Structure 1
């Protein structure tokens, strides 16, 4: 199956995303995040522009709602207790 995917024709959007991922790897940068993968999936499937933004928002909305329900059940505003110590 992998061999078939390697020889499948790719859209210009998919080729552009692959070029960005390759350039990041070659420059020793961090691996692309979930957003890049979501855009790549949308491009590979030929989804209309900005569809991946809606998919991302739906996924986030579920987490936001769960957090709001958790805060309401706790009766107080939940905040992380960690302190940032970065540069």
Structure 2
């Protein structure tokens, strides 16, 4: 993805009330669940998408090993995707 393409941005608030803006890098499905890959200048996170279309929201993944596994699986899928 070129860095000059327009992106959607969202603000995520952690459990301590700290807010941070993230760019939505990708949306993907894995194991019948939907996820969003979000990046900030110094952080990449994966959040689960819940709800129905038109009424969706992001949920944090509390297990760091689950989040790391999802991120690793996404990176492998991108590396092995056919070039466009």
TM-score exceeds 0.5: no
Q: TM-score, normalised by structure 2?
A: 0.35
More helix by share: 1
Which has the larger Rg? 1
Q: TM-score, normalised by structure 1?
A: 0.34
